[in-house]
Amino acid sequence: MTKTLILVDVQNDFSPSGALPVPQGDQIVPIINKLLPHFDHVIATQDWHPQGHASFASVHNKTPGELIELDGGPQVMWPDHCVQGTYGAEFIAELNTHAIDHVVQKGTNLNIDSYSGFFDNQRLQATGLADYLLEKGLTDVYIVGLATDYCVKFTALDAAELGFNTWVIQDACRGVNMSEGDVDNAFEQMQQAGCILIQSESLVVN
Ligand code: VGL
Ligand code: ZN
């Protein structure tokens, strides 16, 4: 069975020393590198914002972590992060990028955030990820990356809703956990939506 690994936002700004630090975010990289040879296809998403993106607290004179209304929907305010072409937007250096055969960039619309690798948060535009998978006949996707409670969660929920057989490799994900329990709740939601939660050791023979 053809297996596709989707790497969600394994980027410098989400590493512990980055602009939007995800605790232990760098610890998933060696786990992902070990997983790579076990997959037929590897797709990576990149959070790829223009300068002055609407999700940036600095644009609204807000403090990161605050919640605002943006176009009638809730929007968490983030530090400036993953600006197109900057170091922070690059893949974490230790990631074995040779294995990546397709990159999907998201969050490129100045006014709309995009947590999911499939659609922006308002579902106005698709990123092309679903079409890519469908064109290649890839039905089975395994999701890893950053951050569990944002981009991993929404990518996994959309994958399941779109009808892909969806696994989430828990130890190859880390979350922001802005409120205690966010990561646990995110995994719970993914499971409720039909995603299968597994550990990397079930795929990698040590
Ligand atoms: C993400 C917050 C803002 C993520 C991206 O990759 O989970 N989180 N932008
Ligand atoms: Zn972002």
By three-state DSSP, how is residue 192 classified? Answer: helix
For residue 147, give the ligand 1 atom closest to its CA: 7
134-146 pLDDT, tens digit per residue, is 999 999 999 999 9
40 within some domain: yes
* pLDDT number for residue 157: 98
116 in Cβ contact with 107 (< 8 Å) = no
Distance CA 85, CA 74 (A): 27
Give the pTM: 0.98
69 within some domain: no
Closest ligand, as measured to the CA of 77: 1
Ligand 1 lined by 151 (C-beta under 6 Å):
yes
* pLDDT number for residue 135: 98
Distance CA 113, CA 55 (A): 6
Find, among 34, 35, 28, the residue nearest to 4 by Cα: 35
37 within some domain: yes
Distance 138 CA to ligand 2 centre (A): 26
Contacts of 133 (CB under 8 A, 6+ apart): 4, 43, 139, 141, 164
The ranges of the chain with pLDDT < 50 are: none
Site to probe by mutation for ligand 1, drawn from 12, 46, 75, 81 as the one with most ligand atoms within 8 Å of Cβ, is 81
* pLDDT number for residue 206: 60
* pLDDT number for residue 178: 96
Q: Ligand 2 is a single-atom ion; what residues have CB below 5 A from it?
A: 47, 107
64 within some domain: no
193 within some domain: yes
Distance CA 31, CA 28 (A): 5
182 in Cβ contact with 175 (< 8 Å) = yes
Closest ligand, as measured to the CA of 54: 2
Domain count, the chain: 1
Distance CA 55, CA 121 (A): 11
Ligand 1 lined by 150 (C-beta under 6 Å):
yes
Q: Please give the helix or strand (H or E) that residue 35 lies within, else none.
A: helix 28-35
Domain residues for the domain of 191 are 3-49+81-204
* pLDDT number for residue 158: 98
Catalytic residue among 82, 113, 151, 173: 151
66 within some domain: no
DSSP 77-124: -B-S--BTTSGGGSBPTTS-GGG--EEEEE--STT----SSSB-TTS-
* CATH code where residue 135 lies: 3.40.50.850
122 within some domain: yes
Find, among 132, 128, 53, 144, the residue nearest to 92 by Cα: 144
* pLDDT number for residue 17: 97
19 within some domain: yes
